[in-house]
Structure 1
Amino acid sequence: MKAAAKRIGLEIVGWLLVVAGIAALILPGPGLLMIAGGLIILSQQYEWAERRVEPIKREALKGAAKSVETWPRIVATSTMIALIAAAGVLWFMGPDTPGWWPLSDSLWLPGGKATGISQFLSALIALVLLVWSFRRYHGKPEAIAEVVAAAAADDDREGFWGQ
Structure 2
Amino acid sequence: MARSPRQRRGRGSVFAGRTRPHGVGRILGLVVGWLLVLVGLAALVLPGPGLLALVAGLAVLAQQYEWARRWLQPVKRKAFAAAAQGVKSLRNIVISFLGALVLVLLGVLWGLDPPMPGWWPLDERWWLPGGWSVGSGLILSGLLAAAFIVYSIRRFRPVH
* Gaps in structure 2 of 5+ consecutive residues: 1-20
How far did 1:20 drift?
A: 0.9
Please name the residue that 1:34 is paired with: 53
SS in 2 for 1:3: coil
SS in 2 for 1:106: helix
Letter in 2 for 1:130: I
Larger radius of gyration between Structure 1 and Structure 2: 2
Quick one: which of 140, 145, 148 aligns to 1:121?
140
1:61 and 2:97 are equivalent in the alignment: no
Q: Which has the higher helix share?
A: 1
Give identity over the alignment, percent: 45
Q: Deviations over 1:80-139 (max 9, x none)?
A: 111111101101111111122121111111221011111111111111111121222223
1:21 and 2:40 are equivalent in the alignment: yes
| Superposition CA RMSD, Å | 1.8
How far did 1:140 drift?
A: 4.7
Identify the structure with bigger relative contact order (alpha carbons < 8 Å, sequence gap 6+).
Answer: 1
TM-score by length of 2: 0.80
Please name the residue that 2:97 is paired with: 78
* Gaps in structure 1 of 5+ consecutive residues: 142-163
Letter in 1 for 2:136: I
Letter in 1 for 2:37: V
Alpha-carbon distance between aligned partners in 1 of 2:61 and 2:153, rounded to the nearest angstrom = 29
Letter in 2 for 1:55: P
Please name the residue that 2:70 is paired with: 51
Aligned length: 140
Q: How does 1:118-157 map to 2 (within 5 A)?
A: 118-140=137-159
SS in 2 for 1:135: helix
SS in 2 for 1:101: coil
Please name the residue that 2:8 is paired with: none
